[in-house]
């Protein structure tokens, strides 16, 4: 008997592996493919839904299958598919836009108001045996890339989108706040793009040690400790001054050309803005509170460009795959833990615990035992 289990978030705090009562067994929609999911990475958003039951306006109101960082093998194609074929190994781009709104027609389909994104309420995610995707939203991967690595094309695509929006050049300098997976991948992509100097900031020394080994010639900074009675902005100003004073290549220019916050923490956003040089670019890549205090006078006086960043859009997945295939970026070192499908709950607990050495956890699919992982 075929196992059609799925990893289901029943409600906030209640994650179970159970029979998928919404499995796709009917005829495929036009130009869709059915993918046997082989590997899935656990994203911070998955854990956030588990712990809090919501992210902003997206609230879990009914049982939902988690997972959106996935790869697999095509096992069925609709009769009218023209681009994909059965047997292809693919990375799954997990969001389906409407294709007809102005945003979609402009190529920025990540902003589509009708986007149906995996594991974003009420849309089921990829932690199930098979997943249905439009044929143009599964991206072929090279034979040299394992399914585990291919699952990480999703967060790598986020980093590609961040760096593309920064519009950096070979002489650019860059500061990245946060040495989690997104921050690390942003640094790796920035280095591949030719950024001259990169500084990574994190309050966890072990994470910064990993960053120094992962990205060539990256430098790191451990933030100062807050003092009692100090406001967040007061702390951020003191922290920014300390950071700039420790690196001549930053202090001489009044900051970095490009600064990324991949944490979402208010003090990181504040410090990041304060560390951006005049006429520089700051981008918020990490989700945080809906409302924070920002140094608006500094933004105006420095003529800063302040950007948001949401997922990825046209071409990012293909560029992510090309970066790995060419050897410019390696995602394999980020995989710290691998779990069998039946151990998925333990995998989520491992990510939530955030113990030292945890970077990316992979859950192997139900059919993965029949595939050779590179």
302-327 residues labelled b (16+ CB within 10 A) or e (exposed): bebbebebebbbeebbbbbbebbeee
* Average of per-residue pLDDT across 291-300: 97
pLDDT tops 60 at residue 373: no
pLDDT reading at 205 higher than 90: yes
Measured on CA atoms in the order 155, 156, 158, 163, is the torsion positive or negative? positive
125-135 pLDDT, tens digit each: 999 999 999 99
Whole-angstrom distance, CA of residue 281 vs CA of residue 294: 15
- Could you give the count of Cα atoms lying within 13 Å of 359 in the half-sphere of its Cβ? 24
Pick from 86, 92, 81: which is nearest to 37 by CA? Answer: 92
Residue pair 261/162 in contact (Cβ under 8 Å)? The answer is no
Q: Does 21 have pLDDT greater than 80?
A: no
**Rounded to an integer, what distance in angstroms lies between the CA atom of residue 134 and that of residue 152?**
20
Q: List the single range of 170-174, 346-350, 368-372 with lowest mean pLDDT.
A: 368-372
Taking only the tens place, the pLDDT of each residue in 247-283 is 999 999 999 999 999 999 999 999 999 999 999 999 9
Report pLDDT digits (tens) over 220-245. 999 999 999 999 999 999 999 999 99
The confidence score (pLDDT) of residue 23 equals 60
Classify residue 371 by burial, with Cβ atoms within 10 Å: 0-12, 13-18, 19+. Answer: middle
**Is the pLDDT assigned to residue 88 strictly greater than 60?**
yes
Bridge-based pairing state of the strands 335-339 and 360-364: parallel
Residue keyed to tokens 């023209």: 82
Query: pLDDT > 90: what percent of the chain?
Result: 91
Q: How far apart are CA 235 and CA 42, in angstroms?
A: 33
pLDDT at 371: 62
Q: How far apart are CA 274 and CA 243, in angstroms?
A: 10
Mean pLDDT on 206-229: 97
Confidence of residue 306 (pLDDT cuts 50, 70, 90): very high
Distant-in-sequence, close-in-space partners of 229: CB < 8 Å, separation ≥ 6 = none
Residue 56: its pLDDT value, please? Answer: 84
Q: Residue 92 forms beta bridges with which residues?
A: 70, 138
Mean pLDDT to the nearest integer, 211-218? 97
Question: Quick one: what percent of the chain has pLDDT higher than 70?
Answer: 97
Is the predicted pLDDT of residue 64 greater than 70, yes or no?
A: yes
What band does 288 get if pLDDT is binned at 50, 70 and 90? confident
Tokens matching residue 269: 């956003």
> How confident is the model at residue 57, as a pLDDT?
87
Q: Please write the tens of the pLDDT for every residue from 147-188.
A: 999 999 999 999 999 999 998 888 899 999 999 999 999 999
As a whole number, the mean pLDDT across the chain is: 95
């Amino acid at each position: 008997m075929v196992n059609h289990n799925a990893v289901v978030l029943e409600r906030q705090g209640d994650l179970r592996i159970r029979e998928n009562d919404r499995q796709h067994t009917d005829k495929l929609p036009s130009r869709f493919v059915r993918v046997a999911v082989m590997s899935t990475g656990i994203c911070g958003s998955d854990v956030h839904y588990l712990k809090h039951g919501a992210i902003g306006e997206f609230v879990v109101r009914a049982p939902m299958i988690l997972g959106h960082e996935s790869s697999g093998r095509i096992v069925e194609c609709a009769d009218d598919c023209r681009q994909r074929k059965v047997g292809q190994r693919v990375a799954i781009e997990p969001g389906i836009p409407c294709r007809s709104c102005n945003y979609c027609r402009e190529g920025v389909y990540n902003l589509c108001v009708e986007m149906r994104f995996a594991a974003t309420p009420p849309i089921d995610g990829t932690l199930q045996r098979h997943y249905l995707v439009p044929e143009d939203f599964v991206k072929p991967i090279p034979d040299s890339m394992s399914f585990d690595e291919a699952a990480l094309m999703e967060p790598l695509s986020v980093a590609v989108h961040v760096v593309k929006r920064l519009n950096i050049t070979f002489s650019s300098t860059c500061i990245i706040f946060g040495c989690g997976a997104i921050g690390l991948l942003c640094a790796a992509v920035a280095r591949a793009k030719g950024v001259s100097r990169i500084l990574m900031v994190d309050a966890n020394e072990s994470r910064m040690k990993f960053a120094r080994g992962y990205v060539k010639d990256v430098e790191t900074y451990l933030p100062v400790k807050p003092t009692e009675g100090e406001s967040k902005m007061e702390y951020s100003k003191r922290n920014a001054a300390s950071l700039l004073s420790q690196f001549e290549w930053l202090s001489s220019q009044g900051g970095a050309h490009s600064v990324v916050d991949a944490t979402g923490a208010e003090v990181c956003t504040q410090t990041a803005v304060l560390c951006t040089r005049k006429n520089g670019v700051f981008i918020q890549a990490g989700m945080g509170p809906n409302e924070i205090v920002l140094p608006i006078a500094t933004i105006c006086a420095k003529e800063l460009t302040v950007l948001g960043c949401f997922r990825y859009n046209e071409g990012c997945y293909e560029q992510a795959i090309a970066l790995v295939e060419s050897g410019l970026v390696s995602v394999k070192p980020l995989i710290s833990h691998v779990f069998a499908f039946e151990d998925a709950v333990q995998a989520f607990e491992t990510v939530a615990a955030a113990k030292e050495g945890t970077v990316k956890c992979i859950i192997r699919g139900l059919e993965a035992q029949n595939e050779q992982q590179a």
